[in-house]
Amino acid sequence: MAKRVYFLDGKFKKKPLSNIEDRGFFFSDSVYEVIRARNEKPFFLDEHLSRLERGLKELKINYQFDREYLEEIIKKSLRILKKKEAAIYLQITRGKEPRSHLPRKNTKPALIIITSEFRPLASRLFKEGVSVILYPDIRWARCDIKTTMLLPNVLAKIEAKERGFFVCTIL
């Protein structure tokens, strides 16, 4: 059984490899989805892929969206992983090119899929509850696009931890 399964630009990999000149690193110029799966069956796969496709259109990332291909890769990664509970992280970036705010027209988008075991929260947390902090919403105005620009979420999580809370709710 694999601990994690990596898929990058058309190939399964044993180790996570990425290009540091990818626009996803420079500018968060990418969209992503996290999909839960149980017994090799992804939850709400069609809805996740629809949102991913809409995000690509909104960001004007010219990715040749092939739903059947993505479904096939996701299902294959789950078979390789062989875990009852899994999480699939799927990201499509605009691709690699020298750093510039204006993307080139012919840049080839990058597809990244990381499939790993999912460990649910302890059941006692659902019974006992957890402490929650409220945090102001400082995200950008296009929260309808699920991009990888999650710095406000990171800051909120740090704030919650530093103040002794389990989680934060962004308002």
CB-based burial label for 18 (10 Å; 0-12, 13-18, 19+): middle
List phi, psi (to 5°) of 5. -120, 125
Tokens standing for residue 101: 């705010």
| Residue in 69, 35, 33, 23 with CA at minimum distance from that of residue 54 | 33
Point out the catalytic residue in the list 75, 82, 127, 146: 146
Please name the amino acid found at residue 23: R
Q: How far is CA 162 from the centre of its chain?
A: 25
Mapped onto helix, strand or coil, the DSSP state of residue 160 is: helix
Tell me the residue length of the chain.
Answer: 171
Taking the alpha carbons at both ends of the chain, their separation in whole angstroms is 41
Quick check: is 146 catalytic?
Answer: yes
Residues acting as catalytic residues: 146
